[in-house]
Structure 1
């Protein structure tokens, strides 16, 4: 029923929903006043908008950050990591995509360990976190004042070239898979087996993450995928030539395919300050369209963050800057919440339709790429 309600009703305006996250945010420094003298109202406007349309954060390294801690308490606050419930509430974060990217050991085993840890974290913090497998469950968690935890992205190396492992990971809750770092998704693009992986992902409702993939892989995946794709940590290459950032040509193709570029709050990709991040958001919005831009904190991923955005509590500061620049509230609501919901909902519905008409793929890499 939640899926049906999510499909039939457009996201409410900022004035139509109660404030689900009551902890106020006080920015490090107030935004500059606008020419009309409304600058003093921007932090309050940002908090009001985020209360109705919280942030769906596309990439959190929390499982990896917690694995070496002997004990932790995210409910009261945890200084050893960037992310805890007080800061998530202060930043009005409503959904968190937990990355399952291993740094050492066999990829599948390390991915399963991080998946298990992510699930354990949710189970031990029921007051603030709730697992979410579908767009409807993400919406339900938000409406209950919980942060929805979505599993993924995980690295494609964890599949060990097996579609059976993909199906098992999906049964364990995986929703996003990064198409990079394998023989079938390389600088040369997707092989025949890689194309079969994308088709099976569409059938299962596993969303393709193209951040870190080659331009050739991104281009072919955009053509092949029947559901929108994500770039969970990509900014504008025209502003910063980082290898994970996207060219204007790819941004335009991503927008045409109704995909989503989630701009990371990572200084090496966007720059040292809030305004640098806002510049990238402006650029992606202008090139790909307002339906193609989202946010990715990349907190607890071992990267440096722009000043004023050191942890999730800084999101209102960024939204206030975008309001100062004249972003309409409709575009901001899509940026923070609506675009992620659209992608999840599209993947859910496409998967149900595909499962009604097709069986699981039995393709083997040796048969297609041998």
Structure 2
């Protein structure tokens, strides 16, 4: 894992590749949906306002794929470079989450982290590691897909603030406060509050997807930086453990956060019917209505192998134009589309950085332990 110490922003090795590069000739077109004029307009909007996507599990899928070529195209997966570019993706959060029952969560997280870091390093003409909001803009200006690392799950910390700081050094910029530790369930404990404060100091975003009410309430009350839901939808439309109730969406919006709406069919299905782009659009509009137009974004939840359940019209990472065309047909303006695809998530990243800079001058790294705060 020596490559993890390389300077992610060193561009001396790529030289002339720092200029925008055209996509390979093999880039697929999204499946047709609606009229061609609507799709053409959607693609034009995405060229100007690319998607900052909140959740892709490719790191997990790569461990199960014996051979892959993501740069040319990969038929065994729903994500590769050609499809990301065809979909208008300009920034991607690469999820490092794992199952709560795994025996070595920290080890599994580091393996996934190394896998994604290696992928980014192997495709410098397409991908660029992003650690800050400024990196997002730089990658976009150079025609790269900005790559954020995270979230990692709470149980991957091993109840250690030192581990959280180590993840930050390795580039992780989001932490999921999901159930699975004694400090996140049934609600956030005193040690959990210290995790929130340390994440604020570091500039690590707090992901409330699937968290208990006791956890998300205490997090929003204690955090000085906005939080996010990296892969949620509206629980008022579809009941699912990862979906957010209207009360959470309203509080998230009031605290400046953002809900990134998932495309996963199990999170957006309604009445047992075929799940389509229209269902995703319904969830997006519900989140916008409750949280506010400045607090909704996109989470394709791609990074799956061929054969996984799909939402019709959003089968892979090339299909974002289909969703944008649907929203345009519903009367969304270019300004509203830009906020949805890019501006809202980037603002939250920027606000978390501002909080970290303001906090660093008055708060030293915490040496607290879970035993001291929560007892043995």
Q: TM-score, normalised by structure 2?
A: 0.88
Alignment match, 1:310:
315
| 2:150 match: secondary structure | strand
Alignment match, 1:58:
54
- Structure 2: state its 5+ residue gaps: 1-19, 270-274
Residues 189 and 254 from structure 1, CA distance in 2 versus in 1: closer, same or farther, beyond 3 angstroms?
same
1:246 to 224, 244, 247: 244
Alignment match, 1:359:
364
Residues 218 and 327 from structure 1, CA distance in 2 versus in 1: closer, same or farther, beyond 3 angstroms?
same
Q: CA separation in 1, counterparts of 2:359 and 2:332?
A: 37
| Displacement after TM superposition at 1:71 (Å) | 3.3
Residues 312 and 220 from structure 1, CA distance in 2 versus in 1: closer, same or farther, beyond 3 angstroms?
same
Contact 2:28 2:83 in 1 (8 A): no
Matched, 1:292 2:295: yes
Contact 1:135 1:341 in 2 (8 A): yes
| 2:242 match: secondary structure | coil
Residues 22 and 43 from structure 1, CA distance in 2 versus in 1: closer, same or farther, beyond 3 angstroms?
farther
Alignment match, 1:4:
none
Residues 143 and 59 from structure 1, CA distance in 2 versus in 1: closer, same or farther, beyond 3 angstroms?
same
Alignment match, 1:71:
67
Matched, 1:237 2:240: no
Q: Deviations over 1:67-98 (max 9, x none)?
A: 23343221101112111011001100011101
Q: CA separation in 1, counterparts of 2:236 and 2:24?
A: 38
| Displacement after TM superposition at 1:230 (Å) | 0.8
Q: Deviations over 1:314-341 (max 9, x none)?
A: 0000000000001111111011000111
2:33 to 5, 9, 30: 30
Contact 1:25 1:316 in 2 (8 A): no
Q: CA separation in 1, counterparts of 2:149 and 2:30?
A: 30
Matched, 1:107 2:110: no
Q: How does 1:176-255 map to 2 (within 5 A)?
A: 176-180=174-178, 181-186=180-185, 188-255=186-253
Q: Deviations over 1:200-246 (max 9, x none)?
A: 00000010000011122111111111111110111001100112111
Q: CA separation in 2, counterparts of 1:315 and 1:134?
A: 24
Q: How well do the aligned residues superpose, as a CA RMSD in angstroms?
A: 1.8
1:259 to 244, 257, 260: 257
Alignment match, 1:14:
none
Alignment match, 1:159:
157
Q: Deviations over 1:2-44 (max 9, x none)?
A: xxxxxxxxxxxxxxxx99879887443332xxxxxxx653111
Q: TM-score, normalised by structure 1?
A: 0.90
| 2:238 match: secondary structure | coil
- Structure 1: state its 5+ residue gaps: 1-17, 32-38
Q: Deviations over 1:75-126 (max 9, x none)?
A: 1011121110110011000111011113444000110111011100001111
| 2:297 match: secondary structure | strand
Matched, 1:42 2:38: yes
Contact 1:20 1:143 in 2 (8 A): no
Matched, 1:277 2:273: no
| 1:313 match: secondary structure | coil
Alignment match, 2:343:
338
Alignment match, 1:8:
none
| 1:100 match: secondary structure | coil
Q: CA separation in 1, counterparts of 2:22 and 2:182?
A: 45
Q: CA separation in 2, counterparts of 1:70 and 1:99?
A: 20
Contact 1:21 1:51 in 2 (8 A): no
Q: CA separation in 2, counterparts of 1:20 and 1:200?
A: 41
Q: How does 1:129-144 map to 2 (within 5 A)?
A: 129-144=127-142
Alignment match, 1:90:
86
Alignment match, 1:321:
326
